Amino acid sequence: MELDIYKKIDDIIPVLRRVWGDRRRMLRNCGIAAVVAIVVAFSIPKDYESIVVLAPESSSGSALSGLSSLASLAGVNMGSIQNEDALYPELYPQIIGSTVFLSDLYEMQVTSSDGEINTTLYDYIANKQSSAWWEYIILLPLKVKAMLMPKKAPVAGGEAEEVSYYTYSEQQFSVINKLRKKVWTSVDVGNNVITISVVMQDAKIAAQVADKVAFLLQEYVTKYRTQKAQQDYIYSEQLLADAEKNYHEKQAEYAKYMDSHMLGTLKMKYKAEEERLMNEAQLAFNVYNQLAQQKEIAKAKVQERTPVYTTMQPAVVPQLAIAPRKMFILVGFLFLTIFGHITWLLLGAKLKSTMKRIVKG
């Protein structure tokens, strides 16, 4: 065992001597790599991240059972209320990443930290983004091609084109794809805490977009959960209005009949007619009264189905950029330079001789 260790040490020592003997060239290469790394790091635009943390209200079984008991007094069956919600927090990332949701952000107004940018988010993403200098070189052929192709009518004032939920233009898809990379959501399955993160090149715009995304998400979920309850409430209002109108008509008919038969001895047929009209008015009142109770139950159901979110962390303007990580880039370039230099030092001669033999055939 000791012999194997000594043998390995004897194999490593010559390698270390060769590296140490070529240390000046390696240091020179590291210096060049450091300069390149600094240029690259300062060429990448800064990104700022704003985070919103939401905690949705959990459904309370006791509250739901209490509402069901109250509803049963008015003859309304709410036993399946707990099974109506199919929109779980785990689906929120898919909602926020959907094309329709992201396109709803197009028209929001954003203002940069220095106040120089005041436009729509669509225009900001499409026309106000900075890029590293090498991206302009890479995209130069595509820009030349676009210049030579027939131009479409420009969108006035940087406004988003009219959005259709069935068709999107090429530019709209481009903006949506860029937004999808800048807006993401995660859900802690254990406690259903929702984290919304937005990364933008301006700190203030990142906070504005994060706040807007959180608002739209809550609005979307609220609309979904209360849609059926809202429809029931509107329907109960219509029924109540019809019942109230019918009750007033029956009441007026009964009162008119009583006024016209107050004098003299009433015959039995008049008594029967009086009882019939009184019963119809009472029945109309009972229907009206029951529908009034059902309307209140439907109103309570809308409130019960409306989700409540606790904002554990609101959107704030970040002070420090999360990218580029300049030190990480510098260390990465130096590591690759040292690794490449040592690899070439050890294998370069063999690779050269192999290539010469291949060339000579």
In this structure, which amino acid lies at residue 123? D
Q: How many Å apart are CA 159 and CA 59, to the nearest integer? A: 41
Question: Residues with Cβ < 8 Å from 178, sequence gap 6 or more?
Answer: 125, 129
Comparison of pLDDT for 193 and 301, the residue scoring more: 193
Q: Is the peptide bond before 318 cis (omega within 30 degrees of 0)?
A: no
Quote the pLDDT of residue 48: 97
Q: What is the pLDDT of residues 273-290, one digit of tens each?
A: 777 777 788 887 887 788
Its pTM stands at 0.69
Question: Residues with Cβ < 8 Å from 38, sequence gap 6 or more?
Answer: 326, 330
338 in helix, strand or coil? helix
Q: What is the pLDDT of residues 157-170, one digit of tens each?
A: 445 555 555 678 88
Q: How many Å apart are CA 211 and CA 89, to the nearest integer? A: 18
Angular region, 45: left φ>0, alpha ψ -120 to 50, beta rest: beta
Q: Looking at residue 149, what DSSP letter applies?
A: S
Contact indicator for 50, 317 with CB cutoff of 8 Å: yes
Q: Looking at residue 83, what DSSP letter applies?
A: G
Strand partners, 54: 194, 311
Quote the pLDDT of residue 216: 94
Angular region, 310: left φ>0, alpha ψ -120 to 50, beta rest: beta
